[in-house]
Structure formats: structure tokens, C-alpha cells
Amino acid sequence: MAEKIKRIAINTGGGDAPGLNAVIRAIVLSGLNRGWECYGIREGYNGLLDPAAFGDTGIIRLGEESVRGITHLGGTILGTTNRGNPLRFPIRRHDGTIQEMDRSGEIIDGLHNRGIDALVAIGGDGSLAIALELYRRGLRVIGVPKTIDNDLDRTVITFGFDTAVSFATSCLDRLHSTAEAHQRVMVVEVMGRYAGWIALNAGISGTADAILIPEIPYDLTKVAEKIEERDRKGRHFSIVVVAEGAKAVGGHVAVKSKEIGRQERLGGIGDLVAHDLAELTGKETRAVVLGHLLRGGSPSTFDRLISLRFGAAAVRALDEGQSGIMVALDPPTVNYVPLAEATRRMKCVPLDCDSILTARDLGISFGD
């Protein structure tokens, strides 16, 4: 039987997503209700690894007051980072070369020295892979699945995704009128890394004419045919949604930058597609990149609710003696799945899923 919990820590890692604050609130209130003390680690694990940078407030006590009125707020009151993986922390040597260091021991010791019994790690695949490693090294850990990309396995949905899709959809709604007024092709690039969930869901809901996703390498002549077919029907404008990780048949993903100690940054495919479609169709095209707008703002009602449910479930899991698991949506309930399974592979859009079939039935082109 696991020892009774007295103190827990929470951290938020990776790119922010709407709903982070709601999860923090649910964890803190559920923990306080059990008589536990709650602490927040600032900026991923940086508050523990480099406390001096935070004026020694790298770990802060979280009480009822700290989480009052934050459910609807975007961002995270703890701060976050998607650089400096503590398992491969980049350190610059005197000669300018970079050496990677495993600093997980400092995290585990830092928590133990403060009498903290367990960690609730809120993050996407990268952050939860770190959480899994900390669990394997002896820490009690519960993961909460966060990412606008919805690419985490073993949960039907991650929080943040619904808000991103809703925002992208309302942008597509707005782009219709200007596209029609100018008889243009509007190419809308959305985030999602190597998975097409945002593009697919927003594209269908926002009635796009073509949706390009990483899971289906595209041939732009097929998209041009779709645009020309619309022209023949008197619809002289078209909307094309392209996921940042989409690529042409035999082509490459558009990479914006690559830095040591962080994942490659994707971006730029919208411009390329717009340029090539202009050449193929002879129509005026414009590219719009929604980018980080998808990560900002207030979480949707769905995201607020699922975030609060995830946070409360994470605390129940700890109370039940669970560790090394992630809370996951398995409608209608939230259940627990091993972190090892959730982080094993990326959840891509299955080619035979109902949403792809729906899009095809509606006449939306995938460029294939």
C-alpha cells in the first residue's frame, strides 16, 4: 500500500493550451479538500532546476486564493517551456560545444527534500515522456493529457484541442466572405505538428473545399482540379486548410527552424501551397497562418469541463494509490491508462475514420 499523500507538486510543460489553469484549479481544490498541501513548479521543471532565476520562488505554495477566478483564463499561472528537456538538458561547454546532461536526479531530490510525495505533470507527449521517466526512477507521478494537437494516444481527446478547433472554424467562417468577394483561393495553415486533427476537424466544420493533412500526402493537381470544378459551377472562390505537418507525395515537411534541445519548429507550408495553387489554377491566392492564435484565449466550455474533470481525476488517482498513469477520456468516463502506453506512439488520424469518410462524402478533397 502506497504511503498516504501529504504534499503534491504540479507542473505544466510544453506548449501552452487553453484549459491549463482549469486543470491546476481542479488539482489544487481537490488536493486541499483531502488535507494535502499543493505546490506549483514554475516553467516546467525550471523552478526546481534553477530556483535562483525565480528569486527563490521556483516552487510556490498554491492555496484556494491562488486558483480563484482562473478557470476561464488561457495560458498557465505556473508558466511553461518547451525547451530544456531535463533528461537531456543542453549545457554549453567552454569550447562552445553542447553537452546533454540528465538532470532528473535533481528533480527527484528537489521534490523529496521539500517533503513532496507526488507530482501531477500536465503536458503533451514530450512532457509525459519525461514524467514516465521520473516515475521509472521512483517518483509517484500522474499525467494529464494536454495539447491542442490531440496527438496523444490512449485518450479520445486532449484538453485544448476543442478550443483550437473552434477558433480555427470561426476563422474559416470569416475567410469565406472575403474569399468570395475577391474570387480568391484562401489557404489557411493550422498547427498540429505531425497529426492532422485540427485541420481535419476545423476543415469539415468550417466547410473547407480541400484539407491537407500529414496522414495523406497530397498532389496539388488534385486540389487544383477541385478548385476548377468549383469555378465551373460558378463558385469562384475556394478555402484550403493545410496542417503545418502536411507534405506533398514524395515531398518533405516544411521546417521553420531546428534548435538544439528542442523539437523542430514546423511552418511555411501554407505559403508554398498558396504559391503552387496560384500557378496551377491561375487564380489569386492568399495564405493565412493561424499559428499561436490557436493556443491563446479562453478555453471552450468543453475544454473547461474536461480540464476540471482531468484535474480532479488526477487527484483521485493519487488518493487511490495510483502512479505511472495518465488520466484519459474514455467517454462517458475519465479513466486511467499507463503513461508508457500513452507515450508509446503518436495518435494520428486513422485513414478510415468516420471524419475522413464524412469529408469525402461531402466532396472535400484531400489532394489524393
CA angle 203, 206, 212 (to 5 degrees): 15
Quote helix, strand, coil % in the chain, to nearest 5: 40, 20, 40
> Per the residue annotation, which of 16, 117, 125, 149 is the catalytic one?
149
Shortest distance in whole angstroms from residue 293 CB to ligand F6P: 11
Q: Which stretch binds ligand F6P (CB under 6 A): 29-37, 143-151, 201-209, 273-281?
A: 143-151
Q: Are 321 and 138 in contact (CB under 8 A)?
A: no
Report in angstroms how near the CB of residue 37 gets to ligand F6P at its nearest. 31
Q: Does 289 bind ligand F6P (CB under 6 A)?
A: no
Active site residue 330: no
Q: How far is the CB of 355 from ligand F6P (least distance, A)?
A: 19
Restricting to residues 150-189, name those near ligand F6P by CB under 6 A. Answer: none
Which residue's CB is nearer to ligand F6P, number 15 or number 145? 15
Task: For residue 367, give the DSSP letter.
Answer: -
For residue 10, give every residue at least 6 positions away whose Cβ sits within 8 Å of its Cβ, in sequence order, or none. Answer: 24, 27, 28, 38, 39, 40, 41, 62, 78, 119, 120, 122
Q: In the bound complex, which residue of the shown chain has the CB atom lying closest to ligand F6P?
A: 191
Cis, bond preceding 86 (omega within 30 deg of 0): no
- Give the range of 18-26, 107-115, 144-152, 331-339 binding ligand F6P by CB under 6 A: 144-152
- Identify which of residues 68 and 292 has a Cβ nearer to ligand F6P in the complex: 292
Per rule CB under 6 A, count of chain residues that contact ligand F6P: 13
Q: Which stretch binds ligand F6P (CB under 6 A): 19-27, 42-50, 87-95, 141-149?
A: 141-149
DSSP codes of every residue in 40-72: EESTTTHHHH-GGGGTT-SEEEE-TGGGTT-TT
Q: Give the single-character DSSP code of 299.
A: P
Task: Compute the distance between CA of residue 257 and CA of residue 248 in angstroms, rounded to an integer.
Answer: 20
What residue has cell string 469562384?
Answer: 236
The site map against ligand F6P for 223-262 (x = CB under 6 A) is ---------------------x------------------
Candidates 266, 314, 325, 327; binder of ligand F6P (CB under 6 A) is 266
Q: What angle is formed at CA 334 by the lines to CA 138 and CA 295, rounded to 5 degrees?
A: 85
- Minimum Å gap between C-beta 235 and ligand F6P is 31
Binding mask 189-228 for ligand F6P (x = CB under 6 A): --xxx-----------------------------------
What is d(CA 90, CA 98) in angstroms, rounded to the nearest whole number?
Answer: 6
We find the least distance from the C-beta atom of residue 93 to ligand F6P, in angstroms, to be 25
Binding ligand F6P (rule: CB under 6 A), the pick from 46, 80, 81, 82 is 82
Residue the block writes with cell 498516504: 4
Question: Kindly report the CA angle at 39 between 35 and 42, in degrees rounded to 5?
Answer: 165
Binding residue for ligand F6P, selected from 265, 268, 296, 348, defined by CB under 6 A: 265
Q: What is the DSSP string of 334-348?
A: EEEEEHHHHTTSB-P
- Sorted by sequence, the CB contacts under 8 Å of residue 253 that are 6+ apart come out as 194, 214, 245, 246, 247, 266, 269
| In the complex, least distance from residue 367 CB atom to ligand F6P, rounded to whole angstroms | 21
Whole-number minimum distance, CB 165 to ligand F6P, in Å? 12
Mask for 115-134, x = binds ligand F6P (CB under 6 A): ---------x----------
What part of residues 294-313 is at the interface with ligand F6P (CB under 6 A)?
295
* Residue closest to 349 by CA, chosen among 216, 158, 247, 253: 216
Burial track 234-262 (b if 16+ CB lie within 10 A, e otherwise): eeebbbbbbbbbbbbeeeebbeeeeeeee
List residues near ligand F6P by CB under 6 A: 15, 82, 124, 147-149, 191-193, 244, 265-266, 295
Please list the active-site residues: 149
